[in-house]
Amino acid sequence: MRPLLIVASATIAFTGPAAAIGDDSHAAHQAHQGHDIIAAAVAAPTRTPANLARDQYRHPAETLAFFGVKPGDTVVELWPGGGWYTEILAPLAKAGGGALYAAAPWERGLNRVKEWQGAKPDTYGTVKLAEFPNAGTNPKVPDGSADVVLTFRNVHNWRFSGSDNTANAFKQIFAMLKPGGTLGVVEHRLNESDAAAKEEKSGYMKESSIIAFAEAAGFKLAGRSEINANPRDTKDYEKGVWTLPPSLTEGDKDRAKYVAIGESDRMTLKFVKPAN
């Protein structure tokens, strides 16, 4: 496991030795149980072999633990695409007694999940479908209902639609979370020294840009991690981040070079909706 670089603060109040010991023991038990359920979901037999092979780049168990995903949580996965994380989150929700929303453009962004619901109802039948961003005509994630909202390598897609649409996306995420709820973001990371214009075409985003969008919506940065960092990624490809695996848009041209680099360098940011 890669080291976590966490920016956070906490105040601990003790009501007495006995209460402190009891609280710590209960919290430790819950944490251990949560880690076991996450590990079981990552190892679920329903996951496809091709997706399992990418765990080395995406570190799902460590990432979900960093975001504080717990059994029983109501989790929203934004823009699940091909369902790489859905394969983990659906068994996790089922085993932990929680709920999972898949939220994406209606309905094309939900086609893979809908396909799986028909083919594998035992695993995916209870996944709830919602439109995101929501335009007011299709089902949405109810305001104040989610414990955790997760987005994996999607913010650059919102940015392609303009800064106003990106800001609206973060505002809608803020609304769907409970007070004290968590937003977890994994995104291709652009160097802070690079021109901001690269965000509009390369697929990479600056950490500072994402933090600014989140904070403008009302979020507070609670932590950052290097779990998904990749220092081999030079981020200077003519065809952007899609030059690297898994897309490999250059085909056989320099294929061995890009495979050796691996998947992109990624930021992993945890935000919290203030409780008050």
Residue 13 pLDDT greater than 50, yes or no: no
Q: What is the pLDDT of residue 210?
A: 98
Residue 85 Cα distances to 15, 47, 94, 165, angstroms? 40, 10, 14, 24
Q: What is the pLDDT of residue 276?
A: 80
Q: What is the pLDDT of residue 140?
A: 98
Mean pLDDT of 262-266: 98
Q: Give per-residue pLDDT as tens, 111-129.
A: 999 999 999 999 999 999 9
- pLDDT range class, residue 11, cuts 50, 70, 90: very low
**Proportion of the chain above pLDDT 70, given as a percent:** 88
To the nearest whole number, what is the mean pLDDT of the chain? 91
d(CA 125, CA 118): 8
Q: Find the helix or strand (DSSP H, E) in which 258 lies.
A: helix 255-261
- pLDDT range class, residue 32, cuts 50, 70, 90: low
Q: Give per-residue pLDDT as tens, 149-159.
A: 999 999 999 99
Q: Give per-residue pLDDT as tens, 206-256.
A: 999 999 999 999 999 999 999 999 999 999 999 999 999 999 999 999 999
Residue 97 pLDDT greater than 50, yes or no: yes
**149 - beta bridge partners?**
76, 183
Mean pLDDT of 75-90: 97
Q: Give per-residue pLDDT as tens, 170-208.
A: 999 999 999 999 999 999 999 999 999 999 999 999 999
Question: 87 is written with which tokens?
Answer: 């394969």
Q: What is the pLDDT of residue 125?
A: 97
Computed on alpha carbons and rounded to an integer, the radius of gyration of the chain in Å comes to: 19
Instruction: List, in order of start, the domains of the chain with CATH numbers.
Output: 55-273 (3.40.50.150)
d(CA 153, CA 164): 19
Mean pLDDT of 67-91: 97
Residue 229's CB is within 10 A of a number of other CB atoms, namely 16
CA-based nearest residue to 129, from 78, 175, 85, 166: 78
- pLDDT range class, residue 35, cuts 50, 70, 90: confident
DSSP 240: G
Q: Give per-residue pLDDT as tens, 139-150.
A: 999 999 999 999
